[in-house]
Amino acid sequence: MKKHLLGMALGTLLAAAPAMAQQAQPNRTRGPQAEPAAAAFLEQFDSDRDGAVSWEQFVQFRKQRYADTDENGDGTVDTEEYASEHLVRLDRRLETARQGQVEQTRVRFKALDKDGDGLISRAEYDASGERAFAHFEKSAGQAEPSRTQRRSPLNMPSTHSRTGMLEIYDADGDGKVTRAEYDRGRDDAFARTDTDGDGRLDADEYLAEFEDRLDRRIASTRESSTQQAHVRFKAIDSDHNGRMTWDEYAASGKRVFERADGNGDGIVDARDPAPSQSHGRTSSAAPPRGSDAR
């Protein structure tokens, strides 16, 4: 069995100091911005980064992935092989995302350290909190901005969004963050981060607290993703015999391609509309002529 890059134990996500906003992935498609279905597809399958994936390219990619997933080479894939291959790919993405988040945390520390003395005083910490809560109150009733890019696998809650504020500070789960809840959450986070109890946060303390929450999130993400992989396997294993054949895997891939290929031209690119704009085209549509889909 393949070994995974990350093997952290599950833990409960701790309420803590604000986490960074998620950085959008750059759009690699040419021309107009790709709609979500096509953008997510290209993020995963556009290996040569030319902004387009044809049906033939996709089939070849799937054949190679199926062969890689079949660890014991018996011509079929069982649920453990399927989940293992998925987690190996997920762990690579998680490690990259983790590195980016750690670097952003170092940048955030410097931004909060207004006087540049290498420490975040309680006054500096509270000033940041005031700005975040004021933004939260101002955004009440406003819709969250829509995302058209593929999201990071590490969706750490951020005070830059209402959903993030609720996840971090809504202690009673009533869908609101009162000022009392917010202040208690901030006090607890500062005390937990200030491990030497001197009333100030140095860079090591600030980073250690964030990395602890980050690694708990990674563990939770891996667990959830493993469960989802087993659910997907059961859906793809159409005869429910516990063995995924190439035909079953290819049929699943066909549906994935057709959802992304909104205009049905046999190529996924920025010209493809979102599923709701595809004039009723469904996954039962035939693949492009000349394809070897089965």
Do 292 and 57 contact (CB within 8 A), yes or no?
Answer: no
> Could you state, in order of their start, the residue ranges of all structural domains in the chain?
24-72+248-286, 77-244
> What number is the average pLDDT over the span 102-112?
97
Q: Does 238 score more than 60 pLDDT?
A: yes
Topology annotation, domain 77-244: Recoverin; domain 1 (1.10.238)
Do 78 and 248 contact (CB within 8 A), yes or no?
Answer: no
19 pairs with which residues across the strands? 158
Do 41 and 270 contact (CB within 8 A), yes or no?
Answer: no
How many Cβ atoms sit within 10 Å of the Cβ of residue 42? 24
CATH class of domain segment(s) 24-72+248-286: mainly alpha
Q: Does 202 score more than 50 pLDDT?
A: yes
Q: Measuring CA to CA, how many Å separate 202 from each of 111, 220, 260?
A: 13, 28, 47
Do 48 and 61 contact (CB within 8 A), yes or no?
Answer: no
Q: List strand residue ranges (DSSP E) for the chain, in order.
A: 53-54, 119-121, 200-202, 267-268
Contacts of 61 (CB under 8 A, 6+ apart): 45, 47, 53
Query: How many whole angstroms from its chain centre is CA 288?
Result: 31
Q: Rounded to an integer, what distance in angstroms lies between the CA atom of residue 104 and that of residue 91?
A: 20
Would you place residue 44 in the very low, low, confident or very high pLDDT band (cuts 50, 70, 90)?
confident
Q: Does 80 score more than 50 pLDDT?
A: yes
Q: Does 277 score more than 80 pLDDT?
A: no
Do 148 and 39 contact (CB within 8 A), yes or no?
Answer: yes
- pLDDT in the model for residue 276: 61
> What number is the average pLDDT over the span 211-222?
96
- pLDDT in the model for residue 151: 65
Opening angle at CA 201, ends 200 and 202, nearest 5: 120
Q: State the pairing for strand pair 119-121/200-202.
A: antiparallel
How many Cβ atoms sit within 10 Å of the Cβ of residue 292? 11
- pLDDT in the model for residue 187: 97
Q: Does 60 score more than 60 pLDDT?
A: yes
